[in-house]
Amino acid sequence: MTIQFNTDNNVTGKESHTAPLIAMISEELERYSNRITRIEAHLGDENADKDTDNDKRCMLEARLEGLKPIAVTNHANTHQLAVEGAIEKLKTVLDKTFAKLQGY
């Protein structure tokens, strides 16, 4: 499972900033790694320099073998919380998708 990390112009995309987030995504989605070929993570700050609630956005897109990609988005007050929320949403969607494929 490859993880590609993207940021908008309002977010620092330095490796020191993104490495812990990539590690968190990899660890949390490890159980799905045999069915996911790639994860694309997009971080954004929707209000740039303004400090407002829930302006940090994380969109995760999972590319699955033999299936259409699945994307989820989460907003939070920090990028860490946005990523955590997006991971939880993605895990829920993946569980439902794989359960349907197995006939549950």
pLDDT of residue 2: 93
To the nearest whole number, what is the mean pLDDT of the chain?
89
Burial class (CB in 10 A: 0-12, 13-18, 19+), 40: middle
- Global confidence as pTM: 0.88
15: domain CATH number is: 3.30.160.100
E strand or H helix at 6: strand 2-7
pLDDT of residue 64: 94
Q: Alpha-carbon distance 44 to 88, whole Å? A: 18
Q: Domain range holding 86?
A: 2-101
Structural domain count, the chain? 1
For the residues 21-39, what does the mean pLDDT come to?
Answer: 94
Q: Alpha-carbon distance 97 to 2, whole Å? A: 20
* Residue predicted with more confidence, 55 or 69: 69
For the residues 23-52, what does the mean pLDDT come to?
Answer: 89
For residue 15, name the pLDDT band (cuts at 50, 70, 90).
low
